[in-house]
Amino acid sequence: MSLQTVKSYVIGLDLGGTNSVFGIVDSRGEIKATTAIKTRGFKNVNDYVKASVDALQPILDSVGGLSLIKAMGIGAPNGNYYKGTIEFAPNLEWAHDGIVPLANLFSQALGGLPVALTNDANAAALGEMTYGVARGMKNFIDITLGTGVGSGIVINGQMVYGCDGFAGELGHVTMVRGKEGRVCGCGRKGCLEAYCSATGVARTACEFLEKSDEDSLLRAINPENITSLEVSLAAAKGDKLAKSVYEFTGNMLGEACADFAAFCSPEAFVFFGGLTKAGDLLMRPLKRSYDEHVLKIFKGKAKFLVSNLDGSSAAVLGASAVGWEI
């Protein structure tokens, strides 16, 4: 046995637009202690880091202090892995108009602790690889189906960050070309995210309701208030129009995955996020469409998996996985 202190834990920070959740995590993915602060309300990033470290202190003490911590991993919107920065993040008041060296600031505030940072979708993929259904896989694509569509790609056992640290934006491949494409939050048209996110599902439902006179449980709801959850609840009750919304969504996701297979022939596609709660409503048309559209040599090779990580802790686990990778 070495006389060195065993570095048993990492800190994971799931940095969201509203809340910042910290967890101290061991190598098996057990969260030993957790705390949180609001992300908002700080006039600059230094105040945010100071408040974070103040909140961290008691949970660090509870596991035996900073000396047992190997590293810190951060999952954050617009996170640049190579530089450890958050760049022009529209939802973060202290990082919306510039480049914030968040990894460095945390490292300085935590006595030189190694700190790495990546975007939330990449953190989710690392979480699946370290603790989840992608454990042991060298080639897979993690797709987060939430308010938007995020993705993290692992090839040859490594995260794909690209030349600039921002690779893996599969929510923004173009599925409907030309003018008919739906406007996407990114300012372009026809992106996968505009159709296959939770908001995309709600938009599809509104479109389908408008285009047809078909009876539907969804007609009882003000179109502006329709959510993907209500569509899946209606579908579960046998509502035909609601079912066709998920058919449409799964079909498009399957076509997209067929293109992704041509790129990197993954061992699995792992799905995570709110939309996966629709279960077979989404997964059945997704797999059927994939089989229909994928190039023959790839047929039947990729698994389609749904994340088994607990939704509330998955983001912190993902962030902590970034720390283990250092």
Which parts of this chain interact with a second copy (CB under 8 A)?
138-139, 153, 155-156, 158, 160-164, 166-170, 172-177, 186-188, 255, 258-260, 262-267, 293, 295-298, 301-302
Say if CB 102 and CB 85 are below 8 A apart: yes
Of 211 and 296, CB closest to a second copy: 296
Minimal distance, residue 301 CB to a second copy, in Å = 6
Tokens of 280: 């077979």
Minimal distance, residue 78 CB to a second copy, in Å = 8
Of 177 and 211, CB closest to a second copy: 177
- CA–CA distance, 77 with 176 (Å, rounded to integer): 26
- CA–CA distance, 113 with 29 (Å, rounded to integer): 20
- Across 268-281, b (16+ Cβ under 10 Å) vs e yields bbbbbbbbbebeeb
Minimal distance, residue 326 CB to a second copy, in Å = 16
Minimal distance, residue 62 CB to a second copy, in Å = 38
Start-to-end CA span in the chain (Å): 23
Minimal distance, residue 31 CB to a second copy, in Å = 30
Tokens of 58: 């008691």
Of 131 and 260, CB closest to a second copy: 260
Minimal distance, residue 119 CB to a second copy, in Å = 11
| Residue 132, amino acid | G
Tokens of 48: 């945010």
Phi, psi of 85 (to 5 degrees): -115, 160
Say if CB 149 and CB 273 are below 8 A apart: no
Of 138 and 237, CB closest to a second copy: 138
Of 34 and 147, CB closest to a second copy: 147
Task: Please give the sequence-ordered ranges of beta strands (E in DSSP) within the chain, or none if there are none.
Answer: 9-15, 19-26, 31-38, 69-75, 79-80, 85-87, 99-100, 115-118, 140-145, 149-155, 158-159, 268-272, 303-306
Minimal distance, residue 209 CB to a second copy, in Å = 23
Of 69 and 129, CB closest to a second copy: 129
Strand partners, 124: none
Of 53 and 264, CB closest to a second copy: 264
Of 35 and 85, CB closest to a second copy: 85
Alpha helices of the chain — where are they, by DSSP H? 45-63, 102-109, 120-131, 193-196, 198-211, 228-236, 240-264, 280-293, 311-324
Minimal distance, residue 183 CB to a second copy, in Å = 14
